[in-house]
């Protein structure tokens, strides 16, 4: 009986793994320009030719707040090799500014 249950699961696993989409790991984002909390314009085109991580987050998002210290540490260790741009979504400017200060974010953050 166990073989009858396990066999279809194994076959399904093999079929689904064959359907996996292969990607190169690097995709180009469309060019955009957004403002920083201080009103300065940041353009993605200014980073042409560089590796850029776009981190979409919200001030009210607990998992986002949890991962930001890791982004800050990664940025500080790899500054100049890899760029990070934080993109705050559905978050008031005052809260974004507070978050930048609280987590000592040194990479650009836009809204």
Check which CATH number belongs to the domain holding 88 and give it: 3.40.30.10
Q: Is residue 11 part of a domain?
A: no
pTM: 0.75
Predicted pLDDT at 27: 73
Q: Tell me what pLDDT residue 21 has.
A: 59
- What one-character DSSP code corresponds to residue 106? -
Cβ neighbours around 44 below 10 Å, total: 19
Any domain includes 36: yes
- Residue 19 placed within a domain: no
Residue 3, in any domain of the structure: no
How far is 87 from 76, CA to CA, in rounded Å?
18
Which pLDDT score, from 0 to 100, does residue 96 have? 98
Total domains in the chain come to: 1
- Does residue 5 lie in a domain region? no
* 58 domain-assigned: yes
Residue span of the structural domain in which 36 resides: 24-110
Is residue 87 one of the residues assigned to a domain?
yes
CA dist 103 and 101 (Å) reads 6
Q: What's the Cα-to-Cα distance from 19 to each of 8, 15, 26, rounded to whole Å?
A: 17, 7, 20
pLDDT (tens place) for every residue of the chain, 111 residues total: 544 455 455 455 555 555 555 556 667 788 899 999 999 999 999 999 999 999 999 999 999 999 999 999 999 999 999 999 999 999 999 999 999 999 999 999 999
């Amino acid at each position: 009986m166990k073989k009858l249950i396990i066999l279809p699961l194994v076959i399904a696993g093999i079929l689904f793994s064959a359907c996996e989409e292969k990607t190169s790991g690097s995709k180009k984002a469309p060019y955009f320009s957004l403002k920083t909390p201080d009103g300065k314009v940041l353009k993605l085109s200014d980073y042409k030719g560089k590796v850029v991580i776009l981190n979409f987050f919200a001030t009210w998002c607990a998992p986002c707040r949890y991962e930001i210290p890791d982004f800050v540490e990664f940025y500080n260790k790899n500054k100049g090799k890899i760029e990070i741009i934080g993109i705050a979504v559905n978050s008031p400017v005052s809260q974004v500014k507070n978050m930048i200060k609280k987590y000592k974010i040194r990479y650009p953050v836009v809204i």
